[in-house]
Amino acid sequence: MRTFKLKKKDIITPYFVVGGKDVKRPIRSMPGIYHFSVDNLIKDIRSARGIEEVLLFGVSKTKNDTASAAYHEFGLIQKAIRAIKKEFKNLKVVTDVCLCAYTSHGHCRILKKGKQKAKLAVDKKATLETLAKIAVSHARAGADFVAPSAVMDGQVAVIRHALDCEGFKSTKILAYSAKYASNFYGPFREALNSSPKFGDRTSYQLDPRNTDRGLAKIEEDIKEGADLVMVKPALAYLDILYKAKKKFKTPIAAFSVSGEYTMIKKLADGDSAKEKELVLEALTSMKRAGADRIITYFGKEVIKWLG
The item of ligand PBG, Zn ion, none sharing an interface with residue 133, based on CB under 5 to 8 Å by kind, is none
User: Given the rule CB under 5 A, which of 20-28, 80-88, 101-109, 205-213 is the region that contacts Zn ion?
Assistant: 101-109
The C-alpha atoms of residue 81 and residue 142 are separated, in whole angstroms, by 6
Chain residue at closest Cβ approach to ligand PBG? 188
Q: How many residues bind ligand PBG (CB under 6 A)?
A: 12
CB count within 10 Å of CB 59 equals: 20
Amino acid at residue number 22 = D
Contact of residue 257 among Zn ion, ligand PBG, none (CB under 5-8 Å per partner type):
ligand PBG
**Closest to 40 measured CA to CA, from 84, 72, 74:** 84
Contacts of 217 (CB under 8 A, 6+ apart): 177, 178, 179, 206
Helix (H) / strand (E) containing 133: helix 124-141
Q: Give SS3 for 51.
A: coil
Per CB under 5 A, which region of 13-21, 52-60, 62-70, 102-110 contacts Zn ion? 102-110
Stretch binding Zn ion (CB under 5 A), from 80-88, 100-108, 255-263, 284-292: 100-108
Q: How far apart are CA 26 and CA 29, in angstroms?
A: 9
Question: How many of the other CB atoms lie within 10 Å of CB of 272?
Answer: 9
- Give the binding range for ligand PBG (CB under 6 A) out of 62-70, 79-87, 96-104, 223-231: 96-104
Q: Closer CB to ligand PBG, residue 88 or residue 196?
A: 196
First to last CA, the chain: 25
Does residue 98 bind ligand PBG (CB under 6 A)? yes
Give φ, ψ of 273 to 5 degrees.
-65, -40
258 binds, among ligand PBG, Zn ion, none (CB under 5 to 8 A by kind): ligand PBG
Cα–Cα dist 264/296, whole Å: 12
Q: Pick the closer one to Zn ion by CB: 40 or 256.
A: 256
Q: Active-site positions?
A: 179, 232
Give the one residue of 55, 67, 69, 100 binding ligand PBG; rule: CB under 6 A. Answer: 100
Binding residues for Zn ion restricted to 108-147, rule: CB under 5 A: 108
Cα–Cα distances in Å, from 205 out to 100, 116, 293? 13, 23, 22
Q: Which of 27, 67, 69, 100 binds Zn ion (CB under 5 A)?
A: 100
**Choices 37-45, 184-192, 235-243, 280-288 (CB under 6 A): range interacting with ligand PBG:** 184-192
Q: Is the dihedral of CA 292, 155, 177, 184 positive or negative?
A: positive
Nearest CB to ligand PBG, comparing residues 140 and 201: 201
Q: What is the dihedral of CA 101, 103, 109, 115, to 10 degrees?
A: 160
Is 110 a binding residue for ligand PBG by CB under 6 A? The answer is no
3-state secondary structure 50-69: CCCEEEEEECCCCCECCCHH
For residue 100, the minimal CB distance to ligand PBG (Å) is 5
Q: Does 201 bind ligand PBG (CB under 6 A)?
A: yes
163 with 171: CB under 8 angstroms?
yes
Asked if 185 touches ligand PBG (CB under 6 A), the answer is yes
Q: How far is the CB of 46 from Zn ion (least distance, A)?
A: 29
Residues at the interface with Zn ion (CB under 5 A): 98, 100, 108
Residues at the interface with ligand PBG (CB under 6 A): 96, 98, 100, 108, 149, 185, 188-189, 194, 201, 257-258
